[in-house]
Structure 1
Amino acid sequence: MSVLCYNDNGWVIDHQEIVRQWYKNCKITKSSLPSSSSLTSDTNSLKAKLNTDNMSKAENREMSNCERLTTALQLKNDLFAIKSPYMMDSQFIKLQKTLETDYIPSTTSRKRKKKVDKIDEDCSDYTVIKRLSDAHKSLISLAQDEVTIQINQLVHFNCILPTVTQILGEKYLLPVNCRFLLSDWSKLLQTDITNGNRFDLIVIDPPWKNKSVKRKKSYNTVWEDTLLDLPIYQLINNGGLVVIWVTNKPKLHSFIKETLLPSWKLKFCAEWHWLKVTTSGELICDINTTMKKPYETLIIAQYINNKDNCRPSLLNQQVIISIPCSLHSKKPPLLEIMKPFLVENPKCLELFARNLQPHWTSWGNEVLKHQHLDYYEAT
């Protein structure tokens, strides 16, 4: 089970286990393997044949033209080995310099230490921090107790097994029955990614502008007003939910609730938080400082065109706890948690995606980034 435990405060989930289940039986050939891959270390698993006794004739025909080798893949364990709280970049550099060169900081000119601000109890963040701290304490305690493709074209990959394939000269792992569009922003607005259907769940993770990204120039960002052009109300089913990942900047929260949601004809439903912990359950950084936070916010809204068909109301102020993947901006999958509030077998869409999910439609200018075979290993 990927949901390890839950209570009235929220859930503790296993992000790595969710992805492991997606790729527990992958179609792969020796020619697909990178020479340095750990997959080559287990020749027995690579030579394991599919059990075709219970496969349909159609499925056998599907596999007849390829080598019937399967193996289980997972995101590398190192990506989830978050064993201690995060350090700021400057702290890490200083530590590395100390370890590698026996560097001793000079004491001749001492600078006054900059005081780290604490959250005032009258501040608007205080209620959130107290609630997340309480959720962290109760949920962690509970968990420990329970021990050939082209850019700008919409692609539908409907193979019966997850498959390693070559795209634009690189090897990627594709989940079953996924649809994706690798394109820039303008192509998204020009391409029909609905294929005549609407979606019951839309997850949006915009590359919000911030000082860190601007300084590092690590990826392209979008202005808030640009999101107003997204025709969300044309993509969402009646009663469907839209989940927006957002930074902890109050200005963005106000923009989403007061401007973006009304323009998309959506009704605000709930505000949840994703709380990040280490492998021992410790928060990845101090929750009380005004600097980097150990949590991110999810704003959830609903499209209501016919009140008779509305789904049950979402619980507000819920907390999702998990060990974060060390790949930048890789969010935990949400479908298992959202299922009680969705129709059966929901159609799902992710915008600004950096990875694919089975049975989902995904769009982004880096939509295959976290599907690269280099991030995976044999289980």
Structure 2
Amino acid sequence: MSILFSSEDGWILSHLDYMHKIYENVQYEDSYETLKFKDNFFKINSQFSRQNQIENGNTDKEVKPRKKKRKLNVLPEDVLQQKNFVKEMSEKILKDIKNQKLFVNIITDDNRQSRLESRNFYIERSDLNSNYHGMNEKDVAIIAEFRSEKYVFPNNCEFYCYDIKHIREKLNMARKYDFIVLDPPWWNKSIRRKKAQFRESSYNMMYNEELMEIPIGDLLSTNGIVAVWCTNSASQIKSVLEDIFPAWNVIFRAKWYWLKVTQSGKPVCNYNESHGKQPYEQLIIGSTATVNVNVPDKKVIISVPSAIHSHKPPLIELFKSYLPEHPQCLEIFARYLLPGWISWGLEVLKFQHLSLYNFTKVSHVDKGPGSKGNI
């Protein structure tokens, strides 16, 4: 289970625990292995520092908002209310688990281990060329070689690495999904400026008009739910609600918030009273227009984030009670695979590379017929 705590206000998740759980039993050649995702990626022990602080070695000081000569552009009232809501609800949740020791006070080092591990990963690993399709049809996770590199594939998974414009021709459009998750590469001026300098930010961004063309409405089942990860950009959220959802024939149902915290439970950055980075992201939830899916509004998800760019926490356990017993699930713009899911994205195997995992147990097993997945 990735859910460490649940209340009417939200949840505390462990992304790392979930990654460990799905790879407890992995078939590799003549043995079964237990894989552990490298925990250095989740050693977020300090608030995030700005890049200039890291370069100047000023990372021990508390991160404070930048001083500006001109008057601060204060957030609109509705955005301030949203910020205050996330702050109040998260503090309430953290107060409820104060005695459970889910978060601990540890020595801070400005996340040096996690930053180093992440940077080394991007230096050493290059993305696979696009245009491939594969699956693991076995009921057990496997380690297999693909294009001269070793990857781990969860059980009963299928994946497509193609440009999103090819989804109609590559994906079986007759198949309907009960749950679709999207983490779009939103067009972003800041990311655009960083592309040349930071390789981890160099994904291909998409305009909202391109997102509207994805045939989500044709892929959703009658009672299907769609969840879209979104930044705190007011224009992007407005586009989801007023343009993208209607184009998909989807009705807005709820908005959840993912608060990113350090290992001690503190937000990874300060809450900002003006336009600037917040410690949370948003999850916009909708459903097919023909039914009223009973998904509660205004929930807060709290977890320690991965140091790897766009490595979002798993959502399936949070949505189980709103889905059929054996839901058909699809992730678009996926960067890692999930058991039983179909995943689509140009970086779909990015976090499946074996270099991201440690072996912790080896036991002999006889290889039976069909022991290799269809990769």
> Which bin holds the TM-score, normalised by the shorter protein?
0.7 to 0.9
Aligned Cα root-mean-square deviation (Å): 2.3
Match of 1:129 among 66, 70, 83: 83
Match of 2:260 among 268, 272, 276: 276
Tell me what 2:47 maps to.
85
Match of 1:324 among 288, 299, 305: 305
Higher relative contact order (CA 8 A, sep 6+): 2
Q: Is 1:25 the equivalent of 2:25?
A: yes
Cα distance in structure 1, aligned partners of 2:315 and 2:240: 20
97 and 268 in structure 1: CA distance in 2 versus 1, 3 angstrom threshold? closer
Residues 119 and 126 in structure 1, CA contact (< 8 A), matched pair in contact too: no
1:141 Cα shift? 2.2
Match of 1:174 among 145, 153, 164: 153
Task: Give the TM-score normalised by structure 1.
Answer: 0.80
Tell me what 1:8 maps to.
8
Residues 229 and 282 in structure 2, CA contact (< 8 A), matched pair in contact too: yes
Cα distance in structure 2, aligned partners of 1:238 and 1:259: 21
Q: Is 1:258 the equivalent of 2:206?
A: no
Tell me what 1:59 maps to.
none
- Partner amino acid for 2:205? T
- Partner amino acid for 1:357? L
Tell me what 1:221 maps to.
205
Which consecutive residues of structure 1, in runs of 5 or more, have no partner in the other structure? 30-66, 99-111
Residues 130 and 346 in structure 2, CA contact (< 8 A), matched pair in contact too: no
Cα distance in structure 2, aligned partners of 1:200 and 1:22: 21
1:18 Cα shift? 0.9
Cα distance in structure 1, aligned partners of 2:59 and 2:89: 37
Cα distance in structure 2, aligned partners of 1:135 and 1:233: 33
* Higher Cα Rg, which structure: 1
- Partner amino acid for 2:144? T
Residues 154 and 193 in structure 1, CA contact (< 8 A), matched pair in contact too: no
Q: Which moved more, 1:211-220 or 1:82-91?
A: 211-220
SS at match of 1:268: strand
Cα distance in structure 1, aligned partners of 2:353 and 2:75: 45
Identical pairs, percent: 34
Alignment of 1:1-379 (within 5 A): 1-29=1-29, 67=30, 69-95=31-57, 113-114=67-68, 120=74, 123-147=77-101, 152-194=131-173, 196-217=174-195, 218-289=202-273, 290-305=275-290, 307=291, 310-311=292-293, 313-379=294-360
- Partner amino acid for 2:281? E
1:116 Cα shift? 9.6
1:167 Cα shift? 1.2
Tell me what 1:61 maps to.
none
Deviations 1:13-41 (A, max 9, x none): 11111111110011124xxxxxxxxxxxx
Which consecutive residues of structure 2, in runs of 5 or more, have no partner in the other structure? 61-65, 102-127, 196-201, 361-375
117 and 299 in structure 1: CA distance in 2 versus 1, 3 angstrom threshold? farther
Cα distance in structure 2, aligned partners of 1:337 and 1:160: 23
1:243 Cα shift? 0.2
Residues 181 and 362 in structure 1, CA contact (< 8 A), matched pair in contact too: yes
- Following superposition, which runs of at least 4 residues in structure 1 exceed 6 angstroms of deviation? 116-119
145 and 189 in structure 1: CA distance in 2 versus 1, 3 angstrom threshold? same
